[in-house]
Structure 1
């Protein structure tokens, strides 16, 4: 092959990058690109063997050289752009991350993105370039700028993962999101929540009986509360429980959730997740199951208290940090005692105004956020400013709550468990707008008494009222009915040490002993 022809192929690769991949979103077309390459190889080999009498081996070798030259030009242009021309070139970060988003994925074999990002921010500071066009930001003011209602940031391309299926959670269209949110909001009004509370209480009773039956034997509370939470979700979403508390094992459909979320822990680029079919096989099998169950509900006209399964986290109803800090449990019991009815029941309504209970929950969510790393947003074309730092347009940004929750720039004694920062000592929170456990900016009306956690934002978790109802009431009932203690050989460190980030957090095991009071 002549040098001129080779150079032309390299230049075609450069031009392809500059004209196509440099300007437009192309993450949904990975499969198409492989198909085009396959068609080109097939056509070239067929033409060479039939019309030029070349051997199959020679024809295949020639076409692979052509493709290699083209890809060399494309990737040389891409790497040069990322290093020297990218508007993000001045932001610090690992060299490999500047070349490709795959750098981070290759360092997440243990699905510990929250820990990896924490270490990287310790090294590089508040603004971390973590991909070719990605920034991880833990500046105290960043959450307000990126996630607040007035923000011009939109959902990033990661949310296209489920296309062609579009939900209120994944749609990137603001108008469509607003329309669907208005419809869904009726399902979380106060009247609806009272109905959900009655349904949840059935499973809380099952949970109490399960704990009671253990009779001081070590219980893996991570597993037990996962069974409980998914039973609740099954009942509220489909009108029937998975019966996992009764059977003592995971339902096959719930196992699909674990299978579906595992690839998320690698934080692979969207183009790979959508191209590699086996990476999302479990996810789509679970979607098919959900659609079938919803069809059954609609056909049977059992549309009562149904909600989406994504509205509750796998460890609802438990505050692990409170167990690791037992001094707070007597204070919780003292606060809860006046709200126990004559039949020893606890209603949720008064719990939402209990200062110490809500402070303990808020502090737990600070240290153990349900979504600990990447709620990805795309900056507007004109870019944005975080104080004196300019973030260019079309940049994917996120604010990892796990890292922010441990930032001394946001909290005093950031790595300690101090519920008082949400109640009697609000000055310990230096930047209140940085706290966002429910996908958006959280407003903290720190007036006492009657501390209430509220969340605002275009994409804030619409199921937050139900999540908090479940956490408050389940925590209250467990604490009032049982004394809690670590099982022999348990110190609670494994809960966080073995936590995995799979978009949502998957906590490590923790074994406790429960003694009925």
Structure 2
């Protein structure tokens, strides 16, 4: 009877915990903490039973494990009940299994082909499709103003917290933080700044055309050359640094780092699990290598900022560094580190596609 009462009580606690905590608040940032608390509670309870009533180790472990299992059963039972029967998103069409978990979508993307999968789902279900327990894919033009308009009340999804505390202007979920970072970015994309970038772009345009003409009608891998072009152009515009890929015809190792670093994002792993996985040493080495590359490039820029100033020209990072004083050590600022990665990814990916 004692074990039964313990199991029932633990189940009720699990249901209450989901209903009044997990289902009310954003919890994706604390997966590691929850695991630690669960294991600590399990261990502490065993010790309490042994040191208190003087139970045998086997009995203490059994009762505690039953309670822990019932707690999880209550929590996940409540979770599934809500998702299957009570979730307001259930009125939107989509695969029935998408109601149960966002893993439905993750498990579809083994070939990194989300665009094709989404196209097929929208063709079958319409302009709004349920693709996860809390996720919709919307291609209705009427949704643009509601979602992205100036007066929108919509908040960016938890996915944008994946790299916290490295929060860029793009990934900032706080409107206040986004607006503050946007003011810092604005001078880098003023009419005056953009006109100053044009000769740089023209130079790279001439260079890539010259390299392609060298093939004189023979087959050429244009995907490769546009990758080299985009990275060279990004480096010059962002950091005042030429990687000389167009000159050498060879890829800089950073291009491979970019591919490895961005690959995990192709699977749309739920945020709580993504943050858990990248915290495991060695499991997301490509992702962390690209992060380090971005930070290293920022450090290089801070150390060589005077070179660009002496040449009388400005690049994007020069503008972003203006609010900082040399004593601030801006290369250690997580916001600026994240913005550096944003520049690299946006600069390269917007100028060319990936050749895999």
TM-score (norm 2): 0.81
The structure that is helix-richer by fraction is 2
Across the aligned residues of Structure 1 and Structure 2, the Cα RMSD in angstroms comes to 2.4
Q: How does 1:137-176 map to 2 (within 5 A)?
A: 137-176=138-177
- Flag the 1:220–1:66 CA change in 2: closer, same or farther, 3 A: farther
Structure 1 partner of 2:326: none
CA distance in 2, matches of 1:61, 1:110: 43
In the TM superposition, what is the alpha-carbon distance from 1:80 to its structure 2 partner?
0.5
Which residue in the other structure is 1:309 paired with? 344
User: In structure 1, what is the equivalent of residue 103 of structure 2?
Assistant: 102
Task: Provide closer, same or farther for how the CA distance between residues 64 and 202 of structure 1 changes in structure 2, counting only shifts above 3 A.
Answer: farther
Alpha-carbon separation, structure 1, partners of 2:354 and 2:302:
35
Instruction: Tell me the secondary structure at the aligned position of residue 295 of structure 2.
Output: helix
Q: In structure 2, how many angstroms separate the alpha carbons of the residues matched to 1:230 and 1:42?
A: 52
Partner deviation per Cα, 1:482-515 (whole Å, 9 max, x = no partner): xxxxxxxxxxxxxxxxxxxxxxxx5557xxxxxx
String of CA shifts for 1:264-309, please: whole Å, max 9, x gaps: 1111111111111256543343233323322332233245213422
Which residue matches 2:301? 297
Per-residue CA deviations over 1:137-161 (Å, capped at 9, x if unaligned) read 2223112221122322122221111
Q: In terms of mean alpha carbon deviation, does 292-301 or 224-233 score higher?
A: 292-301
The offset of 1:45, in angstroms, is: 4.4
Q: 1: CA distance between counterparts of 2:164 and 2:62?
A: 37
Under a length normalisation based on structure 1, what TM-score does the superposition of the two structures give? 0.57
Deviation track 1:89-118 (CA, whole Å, cap 9, x = no partner) reads 222221211011111001111111111111
Shift of residue 68, structure 1, vs aligned partner: 1.9
Judged with a 3 Å threshold, the aligned counterparts in structure 2 of structure 1 residues 58 and 197 are, in CA distance, closer, same or farther, namely: farther
CA contact (8 A) 1:225 1:315 kept: no
Aligned equivalents of 2:71 and 2:220: distance in 1? 59
Residues 201 and 87 (structure 1 numbering): CA distance in 2 closer, same or farther, change over 3 Å? same
Runs of at least 5 residues in structure 2 that lack an aligned partner in the other structure = 309-313, 318-342
Distance of aligned partners of 1:48 and 1:251 in 2 relative to their CA distance in 1, 3 Å threshold: farther
* Contact in 1 for aligned 2:121/2:129 (Cα 8 Å): yes
Describe the superposition over 1:7-36 as per-residue Cα deviations: whole angstroms up to 9, x where unpaired: 111111101101110100111001111111
Q: Which runs of 5+ in 1 are unaligned?
A: 318-505, 510-517
The 2-side partners of 1:90 and 1:111 are apart by 28
CA contact (8 A) 2:160 2:172 kept: yes
Q: CA deviation at 1:58?
A: 6.4
Residue correspondences, number: 320
The DSSP-based 3-state class of the residue aligned with 1:135 is strand
Aligned to 1:447: none
Query: Is the 2:207–2:246 Cα contact (8 Å) retained in structure 1?
Result: yes
**Deviation (angstroms), 1:127:** 2.1
Secondary structure of the 1:145 match is helix
3-state DSSP of counterpart to 1:214 = coil
SS at match of 1:129: strand
Task: Write the deviation string for residues 380-437 of structure 1: whole angstroms up to 9, x where unpaired.
Answer: xxxxxxxxxxxxxxxxxxxxxxxxxxxxxxxxxxxxxxxxxxxxxxxxxxxxxxxxxx
Please tell me whether the aligned partners of residues 238 and 316 of structure 2 are also in contact (alpha carbons under 8 angstroms): yes
Aligned to 1:208: 209
